[in-house]
Each structure stands twice: as C-alpha cells, then as structure tokens.
A = this chain, B = another copy of it.
Amino acid sequence: MTYCIAIKTNSHLVFASDSRTNAGPDNVNTYSKMFCWGIPGQRQFVLLSAGNLATSQSVVEKINRDIKENSEVNLFNVKYLSDAADYIGKLSLEAQNTILQAGMNAGFNAESTFIFGGQIEGDSAEIFMIYPQGNHIVCPQAAPFLQIGEIKYGKPLLDRVIHDNTSESDAIRAAMVSMDSTMRSNSTVGPPIEINSYTINSFKPGGYRVFVEDDAYLRDLRDSWAEKLLGAFAGLPELPSVSNVSRICRNR
C-alpha cells in the first residue's frame, strides 16, 4: 500500500509520501514514491505515485528519457501544467496497456494513480490527481488537498486543519501527523516519510525533508500529538445524563 498527500495553500504546495511497497503481506520493500524535476527560475514539478510499482517506475523512466532526448513533448518544454498532467496520464496508460497486452490473469492490476503538481512561469501553481485512465482533476476549493493510496485513516485530520491560508509549517505538520496516524493503523504504509514544500512563484526546488523510522523529530511529533490528543479529550464537554432506556431495550 501507499499513502501520499499534496496540499495547496495560498503560499505553498506541500507534498508528502511514505516509502513502503508490498506485493502481498510477505513481500514488503522500501521505495521512494516522490519524484521531482525542474528548471530553476522557469518551472518546477513534483510527482507522487500509488499503485502498480512497475507502471509507476516505467512512467518515471519515460519522463527522464523524454527530457534527455528532448522529445517533442517533455516536462521541460510543455507550455501549461495541465498539458504536463495529460502527458503523464498518457505515459501511464501506455505502460498499463503494454503489460495488459501481454495477457495477464484476470485478477492482475496494472493501474497506478498519481498526484502531480508544480508551476510553470506565467501560469499559476496547481496540484492534480491523475487517474489510471489518464484523465485528471484539481483539488477541491474548500478542502485544498489530494490523497492517493490508503487515504481514509488520515483524512479527518486534514479535513479539519487544511485551508487556503494554512501556514507552510502547519501544512507540513498536518501531512506528517496524517501520515503517522495512517502508519499506526495500517502496517503497509511506512517510513521514510518524504516532504517536499514548494514556495509558489519561487520556481526553485521545494524544501526537502526526510524522516526515517527512528528520526528524533518524528518521534517527538508522534509523542507530542498523542499527549495533546489525550489532553484535548480531558477537556471535552461533560456528557449529558442518560435517556430513558425502555424504548430500545426488550427486557423480559
């Protein structure tokens, strides 16, 4: 499994990814799911991947090759960010179709889902979810974040914390707490956690942080959050008294 998040605030694009892959419960490995490209001063991109690892790797390799060979369409020459998203969607479909034409079992799934974001000079910054079908959507305005992979455990926290005007530091820490809660509830999501925070209109590579399993800050954040969560509990309003029970209980 995988858990990746992208957050779009007024000032930053924050990307977060875990690093655990598994092909069955007894085939667990560690791969980065975060990839970046850019031309300082002109354009910056970040890609996060979930799903079939071979499909994801094939897409990333093709992106690199197309840049190297200066292909007609590549990340360093597309005019608009959404064209770049379309291009990645096309690479993903091609990778899936190559595998599927080989005639796999009915149960085999070659699909990958991507989060792609960044900014090209003259265009606004954006984050996209790129579906296995190759099409894409932007994030909702009211809840400006996207998630792929094991998204449910960590969503309620993001729903409450993330807004347009969330600070960079809060967005990163929200992503990390959301990630940590998910790791706690699902053993197929795991460290290192990678964070890339792009400052909108900077056109410089985003600030990069990585947190391994026994990272001191990650442990601090986890302990601090657990303690504050229990503290928040202690301060919740007192329960009202019980109602009449007879209407739901059938007692002899």
CA distance A194 to B249 in the complex (A): 12
Question: Chain B residues near A170 (CB, 8 Å)?
Answer: 233
Query: For the complex, is A208 an interface residue (Cβ under 8 Å from B)?
Result: yes
**Quick one: CB contact mask for A193-226 with B, threshold 8 Å, 1 for yes?**
0101100000001111110000001001100111
Q: Determine if B196 and A248 form an interchain contact, defined as CB atoms under 8 angstroms apart.
A: yes
Q: Does A82 contact B (CB under 8 A)?
A: no
Residues in B whose Cβ lies below 8 Å from that of A236:
173, 177, 221, 224-225, 228
A185 at the interface (CB under 8 A from B): yes
Q: Does A76 interact with chain B (Cβ within 8 Å)?
A: yes
What residues of B have a CB within 8 angstroms of the CB of A231 in the complex?
228, 232
- Majority secondary structure, A binding face: mixed
* Oligomeric state, in copies: 2
Residue picked from A155, A207, A236, most chain B C-beta under 10 Å: A236
B152 touches A243 (CB 8 A): no
Q: Please determine whether B249 and A38 come into contact, CB atoms closer than 8 angstroms.
A: yes
In Å, the complex CA distance between A197 and B237 comes to 18
B210/A161 in contact, CB under 8 A: no
4 shortest interchain CB distances as A-B pairs: A152-B152, A228-B232, A207-B242, A156-B181
Report which A residues bind B (CB closer than 8 A). 32, 34-40, 64, 67, 76, 152-157, 159-161, 169-170, 172-174, 177, 181-182, 184-185, 194, 196-197, 205-210, 217, 220-221, 224-226, 228-233, 235-240, 242-245, 248-252
